[in-house]
Structures are given as C-alpha cells and as structure tokens.
Structure 1
Amino acid sequence: MARLALIRHGQSQWNLENRFTGWVDVDLTEKGTAEAHKAGILLKETGIEFSECFTSVQKRAIRTLWIALDEMDRMWLPVTRAWQLNERHYGGLTGLNKAETAEKHGADQVKVWRRSYDTPPPPLEAGSEHDLSNDKRYLHYGVDVPQSESLKLTLERVQPYFEKEIAPRIKNGESLIIAAHGNSLRALVKILFGVSDNEIVNVEIPTGNPLLIETADGSLSPASARYLDEARATALPPIK
C-alpha cells in the first residue's frame, strides 16, 4: 500500500495580510514556520518511510518541506521542484488585499474570481511589479508565465505532470510527500478523489496540516484519507 502526504505550505506573509499571492515568492511567517515544524513531527510519528518528495519552485512550499524533513530526520530524501506545482496565478488581483478588492469590485464578483472553477481573474498587466515573465527561475525552466489562471487552468498544468512523474511511483507502491499550495493541491484532490467541477471549489486545505492518503495496491484510488492534525482538519471529499 502506497502513502501520499499532501502538505499545503505553512502560513505565508501574504496569507497573514489577506492578500492574493499566486506566483509571488512570499516567505513563511513565524506561525507558518511553526506549522511546518508540526507537520514534520506528525509525519515522523506515522512511522512511514517516504522515498521521494515533490514541491513547487516557490520558497514558501520549499521551506515548508525543508523544515518538515528536518523534523523527520529525512533531509537526505530526494526532492524534485516543479513549476507545475506552483500556486494558481491570480492575475490582476495579485498583491491586492482581499477585503479591499471585494469593496472595490463587489463581493459577488470577487467570489466568482476566487471560487469559480473556470473563470480566471483579469490578466496581470505587462510590466507590473508582479510580472514574472523575466524571472530567472522561469527563464531557467523555459516557462511561459501565465497572466491569470482559473482552477481549471491550474489543473491543466498539474494533471499532466502528476500523471507522468508522480502517479507511476504511487502505482509502484512508493510513499511520497508533495509540499505545494492551496490550489495546486486542490487540483490533486480533484484528480485523486474524482471530485466534480462544482464541488472542488468548496474543498479547503488548511496550511501546514499533512493530508495522508493511502492507496490500494497498484492504484491511485484512495483507500483511506485523513489530516494528521485532527484539531485543524477540514472536510474531505467522500472516497468512491
């Protein structure tokens, strides 16, 4: 039986400030660092021997994984960084305070941008302070940086990467850790649990709380799933 641990990064500075973050490379807060330490402790307590780790190319996820692996005394595990596991790109909303944006554009419109499955926010203007088209990391990876993404568009980059690089390892019985972001992990939950387009937008993934999924032998289908920190657990989709 393979195990897959999904960890949303600990609280970031812009989480704290209630700002749309997306692809901006914001670091962890003191609370986020503490959440990452606890995630590592909880994973160590499972006694599972993980064989490999995956994360995005954004420091809040990378640092969360580093801290967790340090707590597990497993910093030697191989780690693959993939831009495909980045957070959703929030386009023209990037950097804006969520409450102020709702006052400006109306709560209903902001809810559509934030929570609809296939409606992206307005695109980020070229030359904006948050324009990452010339960022060295994305030039290195040859990435055409998006100007805005819906959850559907996020899924369209997460799913091919998952199916090619991660799914075969799970089917082979390996136990893996993925440290990523609210929306890239939401995309993975949609894939693994078979969640509908309408229902996936209601799935909330808490920061720094590992979601441990056990899969049947040779399968991607969850046999069981639970958050390791029960006090901060959110509702999970039903296992089909």
Structure 2
Amino acid sequence: MPYLVLLRHGESQWNLENRFTGWVDVPLSSKGEEEARAAGAKLAGLTFDHLFTSVLQRAIQTADLVCATAGFTNLPTTRDQALNERHYGDLQGLNKAETARQYGEEQVKIWRRSYDVRPPNGESLADTAARVLPYYEAHILPLLRAGKNVLVVAHGNSLRALVMHLDRLSPAEVLELNIPTGAPLYYELDAEGNVLAKRYL
C-alpha cells in the first residue's frame, strides 16, 4: 500500500516573530532548521518516489534539510505555487497580537481558522483548497494510485486544505485543525488513494 507524508515546514523567521506570513518569502529560523532535521531523522527509514513542495523558500529549505538528514538522494522533485501558503492579503507582515488588538481576537480567529471568510484582499481556506485540491488530484493522486510513495512539504493552510479533503472534515471541524511545524503526518492509503490509517511520526 502506498503512503503519503505531509510535512509543514519548520518554524520560519516570521512564525518566530508571530507575523502573518502568507506568500512573503521568509527563511527558516534556526529552530525551524532543527525541526526540519528532526523530521528528516523520523523519515529516515522510509522510501519516497517523489517530493512535492511549494515555491516558497521555507518549504524548500525544510525539504532540503529533510533529504540531507534522511539520506534521500536524487529524489524527483516538483515545486508549484499551487502548494503555497494561503495569501493573507493586507495582513501579511503584521504581528498577530497587534492585529488581534486592532480587529478583535474573534475576528482574527475567523480570518485564520474559518473555511470561507477571507482576510482583507487575501484568500480564505476555501480559496486555498480551490488550488491545492485540483493540483493534488492531477499530480499527486495518480502517483499514489500507481503505488508510489509521496512526500509533500508545504504550509499550514495548504496542508489544512489537503487534510480536510483526506479526512473528510466539515468546514466546522476544520476550524480547530492545526498542523504543527516540522511534524510528519503519515497516511497509509489503499490502491485508490483512500485513507486506511494516519498518524504523526
């Protein structure tokens, strides 16, 4: 049975600074680099046929450190902005605590966690899913159905959209879903790509 591993990048510099990041291309923090290496150590016993990442450097850096630590050499890799973090629009670069003081904690939680409410000039999770899921169906699922093992290194919300689809979560259930940085989420799948089991490694 094929397996799919989803990995959110390690802590970025703006995660550390508690800023909305979105499509701003910030690097990993030193802690994020450590998280990526630790994820690589957890994945070292597995074999993968293909790696997918977003085009943002925090995901690419994480994938590079994972591969170096786990000993994955010459792993076929595809990078696509379809897997990028959701675009936070006018919130990008703002401190989350300051934004909560300005707009209210409840409004910021809705912007961050709801399924279909967009931050000003940004994407909702539904918008993010509208690019992530067709990409998954077109490029990743065919590999899984062919019995290939796939590693996806991406972002909190692009992975939330994918987990929502795989786990068949409702918009209400996805509100409380959080994907931690640097923690490999392992899915065992059947020949059609349906989930048989999942766990964090």
Q: Shorter-chain TM-score: what band?
A: over 0.9
Give distance in 2, aligned partners of 1:203 and 1:178: 18
Aligned position for 2:138: 164
Render the CA deviation track for 1:52-110: whole Å, top value 9, x for unaligned.
10000000000100000011111310110010000000011110000000111111211
Q: Report SS of the residue matched to 2:78.
A: strand
1:6-25 equivalences in 2 (<5 Å): 6-25=6-25
Give distance in 2, aligned partners of 1:112 and 1:209: 25
Give distance in 1, aligned partners of 2:160 and 2:107: 21
Q: Residue 54 of structure 1 contacts residue 79 of structure 1 at CA under 8 Å; is this kept in 2? A: yes
User: Larger deviation: 78-87 or 114-123?
Assistant: 114-123
Quick one: which of 60, 74, 77 aligns to 1:76? 74
Quick one: which of 196, 209, 218 aligns to 2:183? 209
One-letter identity of the residue aligned with 1:220: G
Q: Report SS of the residue matched to 1:223.
A: strand
Give distance in 2, aligned partners of 1:187 and 1:203: 10
1:33-182 equivalences in 2 (<5 Å): 33-44=33-44, 47-123=45-121, 148-182=122-156
Structure with greater Cα Rg: 1
Q: Residue 9 of structure 2 contacts residue 153 of structure 2 at CA under 8 Å; is this kept in 1? A: yes
Aligned position for 2:196: 223
Runs of 4+, deviation exceeding 6 Å: none
Give distance in 1, aligned partners of 2:5 and 2:110: 30
Give distance in 1, aligned partners of 2:69 and 2:106: 42
Superposition deviation, residue 179 in structure 1: 0.2
Superposition deviation, residue 116 in structure 1: 1.3
One-letter identity of the residue aligned with 1:155: A
Aligned position for 1:195: 169
Give distance in 1, aligned partners of 2:25 and 2:84: 10
Render the CA deviation track for 1:140-196: whole Å, top value 9, x for unaligned.
xxxxxxxx1000000000011100000111111110100000000011101111111
Render the CA deviation track for 1:94-139: whole Å, top value 9, x for unaligned.
100000001111112112211111010011xxxxxxxxxxxxxxxx
Superposition deviation, residue 48 in structure 1: 2.2
CA RMSD of aligned residues (A): 0.8
